[in-house]
Amino acid sequence: MQKNKNIVKAINKNVRSSPRKINLLLRNIRGKKVDIAIRDLSFARKRIASDIRKTVQSAIANAENNYQYDIDNLYVKEAYAGKSIVLKRFRARAKGRASAIKKPYSNVTIILAEKINKKEKLHGTKS
């Protein structure tokens, strides 16, 4: 049995935003075709959307160059963000105290898959 034959992955490590904020955008592109996902990210109002768009475009390039997939059949199978490093900084407060400021980083993973049309499945050929 062939496992994970038609998936392509792109990982963007150490993105300067928290996973919680990134997952808000990733939830919107899961399951969509890649051209629609890129369009949605282009018009998103969040700062981090451009970094996510670059990661999706990298996954598309991987699919096209490494696996010769047709871009029109690709869709976002999985999109998730995980924790990475956390920079710890301190801010001076009243009465000689200091409070911690955490600056989280994330790892963004985009997994694309190729949708196989029913006609191609029946004939067993790929055009």
Q: Considering the domain boundaries, does residue 23 fall inside one?
A: yes
Average pLDDT, the chain: 89
Q: At what angle do helices 19-29 and 34-42 cross, to 10 degrees?
A: 130
| DSSP structural state of residue 16 | S
**How high is the pLDDT of residue 3?**
57
**How high is the pLDDT of residue 91?**
96
Q: Considering the domain boundaries, does residue 103 fall inside one?
A: yes
Q: What is the spatial distance between Cα 24 and Cα 118, in angstroms, rounded to a whole number?
A: 33
Q: What is the spatial distance between Cα 80 and Cα 58, in angstroms, rounded to a whole number?
A: 15
Q: Considering the domain boundaries, does residue 56 fall inside one?
A: yes
Q: Considering the domain boundaries, does residue 82 fall inside one?
A: yes
Q: Considering the domain boundaries, does residue 112 fall inside one?
A: yes
Q: What residue numbers bound the domain in which 67 lies?
A: 7-116
Number of domains within the chain: 1
**How high is the pLDDT of residue 83?**
95
Q: Which of 41, 33, 24, 22 shows the shortest CA–CA distance to 83?
A: 22
**How high is the pLDDT of residue 1?**
45
Asked if the model's pLDDT at residue 127 lies above 70, the reply is no
Q: Considering the domain boundaries, does residue 2 fall inside one?
A: no
Average pLDDT over residues 71-88: 94
- % pLDDT > 70, the chain: 88
Q: Considering the domain boundaries, does residue 72 fall inside one?
A: yes
- pLDDT-derived band at 124, boundaries 50, 70, 90: low
Token readout for 25 is 């955008």
Q: What sign does the dihedral 69-8-46-44 (CA atoms) show?
A: positive
For residue 51, the domain's CATH number is 3.90.470.10
More confident residue, 6 or 10: 10
Is the overall model pTM greater than 0.85, yes or no? no
Token readout for 36 is 């629609």
**How high is the pLDDT of residue 119?**
63
Q: Considering the domain boundaries, does residue 127 fall inside one?
A: no
What does the pLDDT look like over 21-48, one tens digit per residue?
Answer: 999 999 999 999 999 999 999 999 999 9
